[in-house]
Amino acid sequence: MSPAAAGRPRDPAIDAAVLSATLAILRERGYSGFTLEAVAARAGTTRPTVRRRWPNRRSLVVDALASVLAVPPVPDTGCTRCDLARSVRLLAESLHHRLPAGVLAPLLADCAHDAALHRRLVESVVAPGRQAAEAAVRRAVDRGDLRPDTDPRMLVDLLASTVHQRALLGGGPQEPQSAGPLVDLVLRGAAVDYERLVRISETPPALRHLH
Asked whether the whole model's pTM tops 0.85, one would answer no
Closest by CA position to 164, among listed 98, 104, 111: 104
CB of 157 closer than 8 Å to CB of 164: no
pLDDT band at 172 (very low <50, low <70, confident <90, very high): low
- Number of other CB atoms surrounding residue 69 within 10 Å: 17
Q: Poorest-confidence range of 12-16, 85-89, 163-167, 189-193?
A: 163-167
DSSP string, 59-127: HHHHHHHHHT-PPPPPP-SS-HHHHHHHHHHHHHIIIIIISPTT-HHHHHHHTTT-HHHHHHHIIIIIH
Q: What tens digit of pLDDT does each residue of 3-18 get?
A: 334 445 677 899 999 9
Q: pLDDT above 90 covers what percent of the chain? A: 51
Judge whether residue 100 has pLDDT over 80: yes
Alpha-carbon gap, residue 174 to 90, rounded angstroms: 10
Using DSSP, state whether 173 is helix, strand or coil.
coil
Judge whether residue 97 has pLDDT over 90: no
Residue 119: what pLDDT? 94
